[in-house]
Chains A and B, each alone.
Chain A
Amino acid sequence: MERLIKRLFLFISLFLLLLTTLLVSIFYLINSPKYYRISNKFTSIIMGHSHPECALNDSLIYGFKNYAESGEAYIYTYFKLKKILGANPQVKNIFIEFTNNQIDVEMNKWVYDDKFISEKFSKYYPIIPIETSFVFLNKNPASTINSVITGSVEHMKFLTKYENSKHVKWGGFIPPSMSKVDSIIKTLPISSIKEQGISEINILYLKKIIQLCKKNNKNIYLIRSPLHKKYFDLINEKQFQHTLKKNFSSIPFLDFSSVPFKNEEFLDLEHLNSYGAKKFSIFFKTFINNGGLVNNHPQNIIDSLSVIPQINE
C-alpha cells in the first residue's frame, strides 16, 4: 500500500509539473507581441460581437481593421484591446459596438456559460490575468478547466505551425451571403416580453474599455450597427438610451441602426449580409470622409447621409 501511494504521488506530481511547465510555456510564448502586431497602416479598429463582425468589411476601408467576433462579451473585448494597443501604438481610433442586446442580463451567460467559456476562454485565457481567471474558475470550474486544456492544444498548434509572420486570428469580417429576413418576419411573435435586467459585468467591462482608451490617449467611439426596424430586441430601447446617457454620455455614439437597408441586405433582423456589409462599409467610409469623427454632432451627418440615394443604392 505504501509503495502504491508513493508511486502514485510521484507519478501525479511529475505529471502536474509537466502540465504546469507546458501551460506556463504556452502562456509566455503566446503573449509575445509579434503575434499581435499589425501593419502600421491600420490606425482604426472595430471590436464587438457579431453585429460589427457581419457589418463592416475592413478591406473596403483603408486603415481599418475589424476585430469583432460573434458571441464576444466585453470582458474579452477589453483584454483583446489591451493586447492590441500594447503591440500597436499607431492605432488611434477605437470603435466599440454598443447595441441593445449588450446591456441585457442575458449577456451574463456570454461570460460564464459552458458554451461561451469553452469557445472564448479557451482562446483568450493566456491574455487574461490570473485573478480574473480565478473568477471564471470559481463561477464555472469544470468548463474553465476544460477550456484551458482544449485551448492549450490549439495554442500549441498555433505556436508550432510553420508560417512567416504568424498573427493571432482574433475575429474579423465574416460575410454571410444569404437572407432569412422575410421568413423571420412571417414567424415573428405579435409581442415579446423581455426581462428587464441589466448585465452589470458587461457594462463594467465597457467602462474599463473606455478607461483604457482614455489612459492611452486613444479616440473611442461607441457604434451601433444597422438593425432591421422589426428587430425584437429594440423593445429595450428606453433602457438602452438610459444606460447610454447614464454611463457613456461623454463618449461619441455613432448610431447607424436606422440607416435604411432592404430586407435582402440583412442576414436576419440584427445582422447585415455581405451585400448589406458592402453598402454599409462604403457608407461608413463616406461618413468618416465627411468629417463624421471630428464633428460635434456626428448623428446629423449619419442622418443626412442616410437620405442620399447613391449611398443607399
Chain B
Amino acid sequence: MLFNSYQYLFFLPIVFSLYWLLRNTLKGQNILLLLSSVFFYGLWDWRFLFLLAFSIILNFVTAIRIYNNRNHAKLLLVISVIINCTFLGIFKYYNFFIESLSSALLITNSSIQFNTLNIILPVGISFYTFHGLSYIIDIYYDRIKPTYNFVNYSLFVSFFPLLVAGPIERATHLLPQLEKERKFNYQQIVDGLKQILWGFVKKIVIADTCASWANQIFSYNGEQNGSTLIIGAILFTFQIYGDFSGYSDIALGSARLFGIELLKNFNYPYFSRSIAEFWRRWHISLSSWFKDYLYIPLGGSKKGLNRTVINVFIIFVVSGLWHGANWTFILWGFLNALFIMPSILVKSNRSNLEIIAKDKIFPSFKEGLLVLFTFSQVVLLWIIFRSDNISMAYNAIREIFSPSIFSHPHIFPKTPFLLIVIFLLIEWLGRNSDYAIKNILQKKSVTIRWTFYYILLLFVISYSGKDNVFIYFQF
C-alpha cells in the first residue's frame, strides 16, 4: 500500500478512529497498531511477513539473552549481527557481489562461473534490519533495558508509518513512547494532518512532476547535451528530495495522529552551507545510525587524523552501499566522503549547526554563495546516484563539463521550475520549523489559513494520478 493511494486514504482514518476508540487501553491500541502494520506490510507481499517475523523474533530473544547473560553477551551480539546482516546481504547484495566477482574473474581469464539467484528484494528490509540491529546493540551497551513485551517490540520494528522507508528509529526514542499511555492531543493531531498534507505536496506536486521530466532526460542520456543534463540533474535533485522527505513527512504526520513522535529525518538540506552540514540535514536517521553504530565503534575522530579519514570513508562507502547494490552507489558514497574531507581536515565540519539566516529574512552574501556551491556539489553527486552504471554517470558528467553546457537545452520545462521556486520559497519561510508549513500563517485568521490549505490540497489533487513509487522503497 502506497501512502499516495486511495487505499491509504481509507486505511488511515479507519485505524485512527479505532485507535482513539480504544484510548482507555494501551494494550488494545498497541495490538491494533501492530495488526494494522501487519496488514499494511502484507499488502505488498504476504510472503515478506515471514522474514519480518523472523527478524523480530530473533532480535527480541537475542536482546533478552544479552541482557540476562552478560558473560556471553558479546558472542550473542556478534551472532545476531551476523545473522541480520547475512539476511540483508543475501536478499540485497548476493547477485551484485556474484556479478562483480564474475566480471573481475573474467578480466583474469578465469573460467569459474557463479550462478545468480532469482530473489525478490523484500520491501523495507534495510530499514527494519537496522531497527533490530540498533536495538540489540543498545541493549549490549546498556543504553536501554530490553522489553519483555513482544507486542511492543514487534510494533517498534514494524510500525507502519516507518516500516517501508523509515525514518530509522531508535529503541531509546520509540519504545518508551509505545510503553506509556498516549493522550489525545488536538494540536498534535492537527499538526500531524498538516505535515501529511505537506508531505503529499512534496511527493505528488514536486517529486512526481520533476520525475516525469528527469526520467525523460535521463532515458536519452547519451544523446543529451550538457545544458539538458544539468536541467535533468536539478530536476532529479528535487525529485529525490520531494520524494523522500515527502514520504518522511507523511510518516511523521501519520505517527503524530496516534500520539507518537518519530525522529526528524530531513532538516532543509538544500539550504546547507557545506557538505558536512548537508549530511547533518539529509536522511538524518541513517547518518546518525552509521555515526553511532559504525563510526564511533571504529574510533570516530578520537584515534588521530589518519584513522578519522579512514573511518569517514568507510562510513560513506557503506552508506552508499546501503542504498543499493550497484557500483554507482559506492562511488557516490566515496565521492561524498571526498567532498566532506576538506572540512574534516580543517576541523570545520561541526560549524553551521544552526539553520541558515536564523531569525533573519535573507542570508548574507557569503552564506548565499556557500549554499549555491554546496548545492552544485550535491547536484553533481546525484547524477552518479541516478545513473544506471558508472559508464552512464561518467558520460553525463563529461558532457556537463564540456562546451555543450553552453548550448541550448533540448528540453526546458517551465512548470516544474516554477513549482520548485514556489516550493523553495515556502521552505525558506518555514525553515525554522519541523516542516515548512507548520507555523506559516499561524497568526492569521482561520479563513486565510484554510484557504492556504485548500490551495495546497487542490494542487495535490490536480497533480495526482501519476502513481510514481517512492524512490527509497527500493532501498
Contact = CB atoms under 8 A, between A and B. Distances in A.
Interface of A: 1, 3-4, 7, 11, 14-15, 18-19, 118, 142, 146-147, 149-150, 152-153
Nearest to A18: B454
Interface in B1-38: 6, 20
Interface string B424-453: 000000000000000000000000001001
B450 A149 contact: no
Nearest 9 Cβ contacts at the A-B interface: A153-B462, A146-B465, A150-B465, A149-B461, A4-B186, A3-B186, A142-B6, A1-B184, A15-B454
B464 interface: yes
Given A14-B450, A142-B6, A1 B465 contact: no
B174 interface: no
Contacts of B450: 11, 14
Interface of B: 6, 20, 184, 186, 189-190, 450, 453-454, 457, 461-462, 464-465
Contacts of B453: 11
Contacts of A15: 454, 457
Contact of B464 (A1, A19, A146): A146
A239 B240 CA distance: 53
Given A1-B186, A18-B454, A146-B465, 14 more contacts: A1-B20, A1-B184, A3-B186, A4-B189, A4-B190, A7-B190, A11-B450, A11-B453, A14-B450, A118-B465, A142-B6, A146-B464, A149-B461, A149-B464
A146 B189 CA distance: 28
Contacts, number: 30
Contacts of A7: 190
Contact of A150 (B189, B454, B457, B462): B462
Nearest to B185: A4
Nearest to A142: B6
A13 to B, nearest CB: 12
Interface of B is mostly: helix
Nearest to B5: A142
B197 to A, nearest CB: 11
Given A14-B450, A142-B6, A152 B457 contact: no
7 contacts: A4-B189, A11-B450, A15-B454, A149-B461, A149-B462, A149-B465, A150-B464
B190 to A, nearest CB: 8
B452 to A, nearest CB: 12
A19 B189 CA distance: 25
Nearest to A118: B465
A65 B10 CA distance: 47
Nearest to A141: B6
Contacts of A4: 186, 189-190
Contacts of A18: 454
Contacts of A11: 450, 453
A240 B184 CA distance: 67
A132 to B, nearest CB: 21
Residue among A3, A14, A15, A152 having the largest count of chain B Cβ atoms under 10 Å: A15
Nearest to A11: B450
A1 B20 CA distance: 9
B24 to A, nearest CB: 13
B327 to A, nearest CB: 36
Contacts of A142: 6
Residue among A4, A18, A118, A152 having the largest count of chain B Cβ atoms under 10 Å: A4
Contacts of A149: 461-462, 464-465
Contacts of A147: 465
Contacts of B6: 142
Contacts of A146: 464-465
A3 B189 CA distance: 11
Residue among B20, B190, B462, B465 having the largest count of chain A Cβ atoms under 10 Å: B465
Contacts of B465: 118, 146-147, 149-150
B462 A152 contact: yes
A9 to B, nearest CB: 12
A19 B462 CA distance: 11
Contacts of A118: 465
Contacts of A14: 450, 454
A147 to B, nearest CB: 8
A136 to B, nearest CB: 15
A19 B457 CA distance: 11
Contacts of B462: 149-150, 152-153
Contacts of B186: 1, 3-4
A118 B189 CA distance: 35
Nearest to B189: A4
Contacts of A1: 20, 184, 186
Nearest to A153: B462
A136 B457 CA distance: 25
B462 to A, nearest CB: 4
A18 B458 CA distance: 10
Contacts of A19: 461
A41 B190 CA distance: 61
A193 to B, nearest CB: 31
Contacts of B20: 1
Nearest to B6: A142
Contacts of A152: 462
A258 B186 CA distance: 73
Contacts of A153: 462
Residue among B184, B186, B450, B461 having the largest count of chain A Cβ atoms under 10 Å: B461
Nearest to A147: B465
Nearest to B467: A146
B20 to A, nearest CB: 7
